């Protein structure tokens, strides 16, 4: 029996990621291209954290794949509190075709995947946001004329280098053969095991990894420049101490001027104008953030289709 999950970006090999991204672009051109959930089968979407784009894009995508989006409020389900992760999973996987979960510690979704008999998809954890990176890669590919063009491009991310987005850019970007540069303040650098893993993948794909505390070095010559909130969900009590160290990493017109002239700007949203990004940049001509938000839909439909077809469950 083959059963595939998507808990972190490197759960897809470079060839597999390529298939998913090609399918994402095909879904962009034809929203009803494939209907693997027709019948209809349900997919559970559970969230333990706030969500807008992820919930909307999964619910819409599951419906467009012919299925039923079963939305579960994590504050009611209280997974791991009211009922164990294992028991919850064993109830769900007899009824749904896949489980999508946004939660806190990665160990929680790993435990679910260990038990589940259907694909489990990470809809954001403390460690990774791999569905967002698939959308980002598809967005970049769409702006460059296809998935073939990702290899060799430079992708810069400035801001919290220790958060889920930074880790997913590292793993997902090098899987696509990109040169991933992370610019972050001391104390907010990516986890060393993720940098090491990304470096290993890069050695096989022709990509590379740069981690620097100089935001200008990170951005210089980049084709895509991304940032994210300085205060991720779960970090709220550190909001005050996170203000000052990140100021030099704000994505503003001055910093963006060091990227390639045709560079595009990415942000997973929600954005805090005047903090990690200026209004001038996110609302400016180089910003593609709403294309990026739309690609959540296409990329997740492609991912679900691929996982369901690859897993013989």
Which of residues 168 and 175 has its CB atom nearest to ligand NVA in the complex?
A: 168
The minimum distance between CB 47 and ligand NVA, in angstroms, equals: 12
CB of 164 vs ligand NVA, minimal distance in Å: 5
- 221 or 270: whose CB is closer to ligand NVA? 270
Residue 296: active-site member: yes
Residues 246-285 that bind ligand NVA (CB under 6 A): 268
Question: What's the farthest any 2 CA atoms get from each other in the chain?
Answer: 54
Distance CA(313)–CA(311), nearest Å, equals 6
Burial track 78-96 (b if 16+ CB lie within 10 A, e otherwise) = ebbeeeebeebbeebbeeb
Binding mask 175-214 for ligand NVA (x = CB under 6 A): ----------------------------------------
Instruction: Report the site for ligand NVA in 214-233 (rule: CB under 6 A).
Output: 228-229, 232-233
Cβ atoms of 88 and 77 closer than 8 Å: yes
Among candidate residues 126, 160, 167, 268, the one labeled active-site is 268
Question: Whats the size of the chain, residue-wise?
Answer: 313
Give the nearest distance from C-beta 267 to ligand NVA in angstroms: 9
Nearer to ligand NVA, 42 or 233 (CB): 233
- Residue 228 appears among annotated catalytic residues: yes
Please tell me whether residue 69 adopts helix, strand or coil conformation. strand
Sign of CA dihedral 137, 36, 62, 82: negative
The residue sitting closest to ligand NVA, measured at its beta carbon, is: 232
Q: CA-CA distance, 293 to 302, in Å (whole number)?
A: 15
The yes or no reply on residue 165 touching ligand NVA (CB under 6 A) is yes
Nearest approach, Cβ of 193 to ligand NVA (angstroms)? Answer: 19
CA–CA separation, 262 and 247 (whole Å) = 25
Cβ atoms of residues 33 and 26 within 8 Å: yes
**Applying CB under 6 A, which of residues 103, 154, 164, 168 lies at the interface with ligand NVA?**
164
Task: Assess contact for 130 and 168: CB atoms under 8 A.
Answer: yes
In the structure encoding, which two tokens stand for residue 107, read together?
């160990």
Sheet holding 224-227, edge to edge: 208-212, 179-183, 154-158, 224-227, 264-267
Identify the CA nearest to 197 among candidates 4, 6, 9, 5.
Answer: 9
User: 127-146: which residues touch ligand NVA (CB under 6 A)?
Assistant: 129
Nearest approach, Cβ of 255 to ligand NVA (angstroms)?
19
Residue with tokens 């749904």: 96
Q: Say whether 131 is catalytic.
A: no
- The one catalytic residue in 4, 8, 28, 129 is 129
Closest CA to 233 of 73, 103, 79: 103
Catalytic annotation present for 268: yes
Catalytic residue among 8, 102, 179, 197: 102
Residue 114 known to be catalytic:
no
Number of residues forming the site for ligand NVA (CB under 6 A): 10
Q: Find the catalytic residue in 9, 10, 93, 132.
A: 132
102 flagged as catalytic: yes
Nearer to ligand NVA, 164 or 278 (CB): 164
Cα separation of 228 and 276, whole Å?
7
> What residues are labeled active site?
102, 129, 132, 228, 268, 296
Contacting residues toward ligand NVA, per CB under 6 A:
124, 129, 163-165, 228-229, 232-233, 268
């Amino acid at each position: 029996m083959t059963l595939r999950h998507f808990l972190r970006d490197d759960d897809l090999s470079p060839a597999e990621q390529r298939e998913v991204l090609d399918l994402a672009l095909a879904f962009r051109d034809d929203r009803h291209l494939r209907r693997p959930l027709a019948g209809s089968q349900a997919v559970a979407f559970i969230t333990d954290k706030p969500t807008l784009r992820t919930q909307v894009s999964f619910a819409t995508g599951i419906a467009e794949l012919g299925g039923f989006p079963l939305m579960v409020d994590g504050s009611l389900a209280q997974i791991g509190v009211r009922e164990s992760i294992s028991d919850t999973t064993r109830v769900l996987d007899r009824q749904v075709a896949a489980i999508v979960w946004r939660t806190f510690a990665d160990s929680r979704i790993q435990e679910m995947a260990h038990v589940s008999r259907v694909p489990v998809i990470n809809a954001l954890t403390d460690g990774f946001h791999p569905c967002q990176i698939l959308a980002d890669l598809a967005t970049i590919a769409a702006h460059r004329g296809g998935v073939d063009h990702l290899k060799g491009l430079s992708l810069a991310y400035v801001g919290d280098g220790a958060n889920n987005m930074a880790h997913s850019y590292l793993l997902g970007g090098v899987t696509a053969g990109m040169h991933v540069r992370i610019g972050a303040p001391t104390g907010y650098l990516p986890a060393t095991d993720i940098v090491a893993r990304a470096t290993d993948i890069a050695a096989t794909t022709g990509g590379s990894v740069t981690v620097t505390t100089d935001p200008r070095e990170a951005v210089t010559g980049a084709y895509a420049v991304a940032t994210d909130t300085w205060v991720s969900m779960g970090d709220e009590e550190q909001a005050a101490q996170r203000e000052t160290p990140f100021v030099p990493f704000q994505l503003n017109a001055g910093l963006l001027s060091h990227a390639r002239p045709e560079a595009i700007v990415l942000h997973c949203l929600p954005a805090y104008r005047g903090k990690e990004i200026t209004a001038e940049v996110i609302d400016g001509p180089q910003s593609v953030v709403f294309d990026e938000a739309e690609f959540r839909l296409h990329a997740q439909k492609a991912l679900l289709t691929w996982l369901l077809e690859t897993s013989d469950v």
